[in-house]
Structure 1
Amino acid sequence: MSQNGQPSVFGRSLVLPATADDTAMVFGAGVLPAGHWFDTHEHPQHQIAWAARGVLVVEIGDGHWVLPPTRALWIPGNTGHRTGTSEGATMHGIFVEPDRCPVAFGAPTMLRVTRLLHELFDHLTAPDTAPAPRRRAEAVVFDLLEPVDVIPIGAHPPSDPRARQVADALTRDPADDRTLGQFAVHVSAAPRTLARLFVAETGMSFGQWRTQIRLAASLPPLAAGVPIARIAGRVGYSTPSAYVAAFRRAVGVSPGRYFAR
């Protein structure tokens, strides 16, 4: 672990030491291999999770945020979170000292990363940026932090072993189209029992939970530019239009607009 609680990557801290006592941000960068996940952790600093290349995923409670380079996530200090990538990513660790921060988001908040903000993040990651230019660049970054109004997608699994078997099967293969009755035979439980467990332990019906898992599984390929026609079948929808309709009902926007610049 680094001094601010961030796990290390490849035997070294992801985070660079601060360059001056009066700077607000600490930056670092590391290449995460495909399938790499940090364990759930927290730190007193706020964090802006962002990937300059690839797609980053952040899980906080029931929330599931997928971040291509055009998006970042503000994680408030002392918030437990889990970060990783399916296909590999160049992650920038951006940590903000709360007492030196002129902006504050009280909850995890997706941010729009414009081309200018992208360049500023790269500029501030360089270890040889002098303190005075660093302070000026930080001030511009704070001015450019623009929230994106989106609904986080995802759902936590139930804890009961029988319902958890169903949840694990669907997480492994979101396109699994077995009904709750068919799953019930497999896990030796009555369909009504499983239905009650999903509502009691996830706050959602089985159908709602399955939809959230399917949509969450669709976000990384969507962020990577995979055509919707390919994504739909991969996550269990018979047609692209069925996938688009389910996405719009759950999130409020179409898949094509979710990551739009």
Structure 2
Amino acid sequence: MSRYGHGGAVVVGDVELAGGQWFPPHRHTVHQLVWSRKGVGSVRIDESTWFLPRTLALWIPAGVEHATGAIDPSWNRSPYFLPERCPIGWPEPTVVAVTPLLAALIDHLADFGLGPGERVRAEAVVFDLLRPLEAVTIPLPMPSDVRAARVAAALLANPADGRTLAEWGREAGASARTLRRVFLAETGLSFGRWRTHARLRAAMPVLATGHPVAAAARRAGYGSASAFVAAFHRTVGVPPGTYFGGGTDNPARRG
């Protein structure tokens, strides 16, 4: 990171990714804001995955191991921040809404021909514009019990499968009571909540690529867009239009 000269705090790195391409888990000594200038990026940290259209970015604190990838062909334009020169110290991965002004400033800071004064002034505005979106990720820990893992894998392959736990039990060779106990003990989630997380996770890439809510609801196995929106809001903390609209409810995304 030799380009942090003249008192600057931010370096912008450009990486192009093919659809489905991933960088293996790694960590940085600096903070990173993962942002896709084009396409939809994705970040995995532990058991959580974020899907990031152009209107969203993810703040990753220095030292946090993560893997980055892309749903479709993407151009990642990610700012990196020197911790000792950055006034922001969020300790956890944090979703940030990328407004048109913030996007323009990131593009501006990608010009390494900027003078020291120009760079410092632009960086100060970027710091002011980094505001967290009040939303949570959707963890999806996997059970290790062979019977529960078989059910989990089937639901990941087809999240719209609406079989009851008793029906799954007959296929997996365990009672509904046993599966219920195993899911809670090994994932920290009830079976119903785990399935909701799996469904919402399956819908995230659909929403991130700009498809309407109705399409995401069908992918996730919900009977109506309104039921899907309610489940998304309860779990994530904001409705999908707010999350994928960069902080503003976008009726066009409702389908």
**Conserved? CA contact 1:61–1:156, under 8 Å:** no
Question: Percent of aligned pairs with the same residue?
Answer: 46
Which residue, out of 91, 103, 107, partners 1:118? 103
Which residue, out of 224, 233, 245, partners 1:260? 245
User: Following TM superposition, by how much is the alpha carbon of 1:230 offset from its aligned partner in structure 2, in angstroms?
Assistant: 1.6
User: Following TM superposition, by how much is the alpha carbon of 1:165 offset from its aligned partner in structure 2, in angstroms?
Assistant: 2.3
User: Following TM superposition, by how much is the alpha carbon of 1:91 offset from its aligned partner in structure 2, in angstroms?
Assistant: 1.0
- Alignment deviations for residues 22-75 of structure 1 (CA, whole Å, 9 cap, x no partner): 322222111111111222222221111111112222222343322211111111
Matches within 5 A, 1:154-193: 154-193=139-178
Matches within 5 A, 1:189-204: 189-204=174-189
TM-score (norm 1): 0.86
Equivalent-residue separation in structure 1 for 2:164 and 2:140 (angstroms): 19
User: Following TM superposition, by how much is the alpha carbon of 1:85 offset from its aligned partner in structure 2, in angstroms?
Assistant: 2.0
- Report the CA distance shift for 1:19/1:77 in structure 2 as closer, same or farther (over 3 A): closer
**Conserved? CA contact 1:48–1:94, under 8 Å:** yes
- Alignment deviations for residues 178-216 of structure 1 (CA, whole Å, 9 cap, x no partner): 332333333333332222121111111111011011112
Matches within 5 A, 1:82-93: 82-93=67-78
Q: CA RMSD in A?
A: 2.0
SS of alignment partner, residue 153 of structure 1: coil
Runs of 4+ in 1 over 4 A off after TM superposition: none
Aligned counterpart, 1:6: none
Which residue, out of 17, 26, 29, partners 1:41? 26
User: Following TM superposition, by how much is the alpha carbon of 1:21 offset from its aligned partner in structure 2, in angstroms?
Assistant: 6.0
**Conserved? CA contact 2:160–2:219, under 8 Å:** yes
- Report the CA distance shift for 1:235/1:46 in structure 2 as closer, same or farther (over 3 A): same
**Conserved? CA contact 2:204–2:216, under 8 Å:** no
Which residue, out of 230, 235, 244, partners 2:220? 235
The letter of the residue matching 1:186 is E
The letter of the residue matching 2:63 is N
Say whether residues 1:95 and 2:80 are aligned partners.
yes
The letter of the residue matching 2:28 is H
Which residue, out of 201, 206, 210, partners 1:221? 206
The letter of the residue matching 2:125 is V
- Alignment deviations for residues 3-29 of structure 1 (CA, whole Å, 9 cap, x no partner): xxxxxxxxxxxxx75252632222211
**Conserved? CA contact 2:134–2:237, under 8 Å:** no
**Conserved? CA contact 2:6–2:116, under 8 Å:** no
Equivalent-residue separation in structure 2 for 1:145 and 1:81 (angstroms): 20
Say whether residues 1:148 and 2:160 are aligned partners.
no
The letter of the residue matching 1:43 is H
- Report the CA distance shift for 1:77/1:119 in structure 2 as closer, same or farther (over 3 A): same
The letter of the residue matching 2:147 is R
Matches within 5 A, 1:67-86: 67-86=52-71
Aligned length: 246
Equivalent-residue separation in structure 2 for 1:255 and 1:216 (angstroms): 12
TM-score (norm 2): 0.87
Equivalent-residue separation in structure 2 for 1:257 and 1:45 (angstroms): 29
**Conserved? CA contact 2:134–2:238, under 8 Å:** no
Equivalent-residue separation in structure 1 for 2:163 and 2:27 (angstroms): 37
User: Following TM superposition, by how much is the alpha carbon of 1:224 offset from its aligned partner in structure 2, in angstroms?
Assistant: 2.3
